Amino acid sequence: MTNRKAILLSSALFTMSILSACSAGSDKENAGSSAAATSAAPAATQAAAKPVNLKFYTWDNETNQVARQKMIDAFQVKYPNIKVQNISLVPGNSVESMKKMDVLMSSGEEVDVLEYGNIDETLARAAAGVLAPLDELYAKGNVKPEEDYYINPKVNGKYYATMLTSSPYFVLINEEALKEANLPLPSFDWTWDDFREYAKKLAKGEGNDKRYGAYFHTWGEYTNLIAYSDLKSPYLTSDLKPGFNDPSFAYFFNLRRSMEKDDKSVKPLADVVGAKLSYITEYLNGKAAMLATAPFMLDNVMNKEKYPHTFKSVIAPLPRSSKSGEQGITNIGGSYVSVASNSKHKQEAYDFIRYMTTEQEARLELSGYKKADPKAIVDRLYGKAADIIDVTSLQATIFDKKIKTNFDPAISVSYGNQLKGILEKGFSKFMLDNTTAEEAQKWMMDESDKIAKQNAK
């Protein structure tokens, strides 16, 4: 590995950004079967081919492993010569799993297929040379990525990953708290200022029994959700310069401080960090009435055995930036699967990720595949939990024609995960060291310039 690749990989190891969307979603067998068939060899040829064993590294928890195995079993029926081993490195923890994967790959461990929790982590590994480009494999299968997937990670004009899941952000709200405060379910025209007012009215009680109006986690997304939804990149301008001087950062930073210090409607960041709080338990234990999140959270909502609760969750759109802001703009996250550069079975590994991203019957999350039937997934996955998830508001929110993101995957750099780390540190300085938003922005711009220069060498 060259020094540059080693530096990039080491940096990725120690500056992991979090997007804890976990594994799979679901849809329609016919859509997945026909799509996967584009790269499939005839069954007779497959049966006669030499057996191949693939190592697939994930962070699947117990529930996800069961569903994933169904996909693997179905794949192996179609490709009987390919055996897939699902290796969950740190079940349920995408960040620690990605760190462990870096260690394995840098030590020369043979890897075939990898799953990453967000586009920044994926691009960092592609730039470090640990992922194989997919262009020739796409061409061989007559696949046009932009026509098939919502977001396609690229470095230097080459494709390095296929979108597995799609996670549009929304706001999860405790319906009991909403009714108690006599508030209507927000519509697409509400703003972040309205969100602040809702949080004030939804807050209740004092001390250990207090229910906060909303909860913000430690991830970079929560420092400025406007940047992740409205801007083409949360970190960069169109000419790939640091973009932390955008006015939205000062607005959202000050909004967060006002909600915490003045309104006391959100739990202090110092408590969130100090106690290593979980966004899952804070919401499902009734400690917070609202949570900006994505479909990956719904699996936790349905797991009443692990997270006992009786209230129903209703779903509202992510607030718009202002009264003049466009309605329906949101952050669309997702997970990605890639072929390892050191895999000895790149064609078979590609066949597997192509099948996995287009097959729909065993999915646990919404698909990153454009031709899937997302409504069928939602009905099948969440319809049985109608007592605790309002499927009607979920459907109305995530499938409305207004829903879109301004994010442009072309405006990205290999060190995006490091820029996310700078954003998180800059926000912490603002909240915990009591700097001004402008001082925090200047610090982030200066640090970003340093990172850019280091990576230009």
Please indicate, yes or no, whether residues 181 and 38 belong to a single structural domain of this protein: no
The more confidently predicted of residues 293 and 23 is 293
Domain that holds residue 126: 3-167+333-372
Better-scored residue on pLDDT, 26 or 71? 71
* Residue range 148-171: mean pLDDT, rounded: 92
Judge if 356 and 285 occupy the same domain.
no
Is residue 32 domain-shared with residue 155, that is, in the same domain? yes
What is the average pLDDT across 23-31?
A: 33
366-404 pLDDT, tens digit each: 889 988 887 888 888 898 899 999 999 999 999 888 988
In a domain, residue 395? The reply is no
pLDDT number for residue 217: 97
Residue 337 within any structural domain of the chain:
yes
Q: Is residue 394 part of a domain?
A: no
Q: Which of 318, 343, 372 is the last residue of a domain?
A: 372
Lowest mean pLDDT among 2-6, 55-59, 124-128, 225-229: 2-6
Over pLDDT 70: what percentage of the chain? 89
Domain match, 27 and 55 both: yes
- Flag whether pLDDT at 17 surpasses 60: no
Q: Write the CATH number for 37.
A: 3.40.190.10
The helix or strand, by DSSP H or E, that contains position 250, with its residue range, turns out to be helix 247-257
Residue 160, pLDDT above cutoff 80: yes
Residues 358 and 446 in one domain: no
| Among candidate residues 372, 387, 422, the one where a domain is terminated | 372
Q: Looking at residues 94-103, what average pLDDT do you find?
A: 88
Say yes or no: 72 and 153 in one domain. yes
At residue 48, the pLDDT reads 54
Within a domain: 398: no
Mean pLDDT of the residues in the chain: 87
Would you state the pLDDT for residue 251? 98
- pLDDT band at residue 124 under the 50/70/90 scheme: confident
**Intra-chain end-to-end CA distance of the chain, in Å:** 17
Q: Indicate the pTM of the whole model.
A: 0.77
In the predicted model, is pLDDT for residue 240 greater than 60? yes
- Looking at residue 29, what is its pLDDT? 32
Query: 157 and 263: one domain?
Result: no
Whether residue 30 is predicted with pLDDT greater than 50 in this model: the reply is no
pLDDT score for 396: 93
Cα 74 to Cα 18, 78, 301, 374, distances in angstroms: 31, 7, 28, 20
User: What mean pLDDT do residues 91-113 have?
Assistant: 89
In this structure, are 312 and 192 located in the same domain? yes
pLDDT for the residue numbered 336: 95
Dihedral of alpha carbons 435, 439, 440, 444, sign:
negative
Say yes or no: 177 and 211 in one domain.
Answer: yes
Please check whether residue 276 lies inside any domain of the structure.
yes
pLDDT at 333 over 80: yes
Q: Is residue 382 part of a domain?
A: no
How do beta strands 52-58 and 82-88 pair? parallel
Per the domain annotation, does 31 fall within a domain? yes
Are 259 and 265 in contact, with CB atoms under 8 Å apart?
A: yes
Structure tokens at 405: 């993101």
- Cα separation, 104 vs 68, whole angstroms: 22
Answer whether residue 63 is part of any domain.
yes
Query: Are 441 and 309 contained in the same domain?
Result: yes
Distant-in-sequence, close-in-space partners of 3: CB < 8 Å, separation ≥ 6:
none
* Helix ranges, 275-405 (H): 279-284, 296-302, 346-358, 374-382, 391-398
> Does residue 323 sit in the same domain as residue 344?
no
Q: Does residue 44 surpass a pLDDT of 60?
A: no
Q: Are 276 and 342 found together in one domain? A: no
Number of structural domains in the chain? 2
> SS3 for 194?
helix
